Amino acid sequence: MNCYDKIGFWAVGGGQHLAMASLFSSNYNIFAPLEVCLAKVLCAKFAAEAADGVGEDTWSFAYTAADETLYMPPSIHAVVKNAWLRLPRIPQSPSLSSVGI
């Protein structure tokens, strides 16, 4: 068994590398407020959807220190995904002439 407590997160499956890259680049911090952590985890999931075999269906839950389970409704996913889709993207095929080369 592996322990990933030092970095505070891990991802598995076909989109693992995309999700991990998203979490690392977002400076994910387990001590951030729940809504910040949730948004960053959902963005990592959305990034992972670019991998073969990763679908768009998502369920998210948070477990509190008091052993409570908090269900995150799909409406939250939609809000975060809409914001994520508006973020700048690296062009798929950048034209060298468009950058002055």
**In the chain, domain spans:** 16-88
Mean pLDDT, residues 34-62: 94
What is the 3-state composition of the chain as percent helix, strand, coil, each rounded to the nearest 5? 40, 10, 50
- How far apart CA 72 and CA 59 sit, in angstroms, is 7
Highest mean pLDDT among 14-18, 28-32, 87-91, 96-100: 14-18
Label residue 94 by pLDDT band (50, 70, 90).
low
Query: Would you state the pLDDT for residue 97?
Result: 61
- How far apart CA 3 and CA 29 sit, in angstroms, is 16
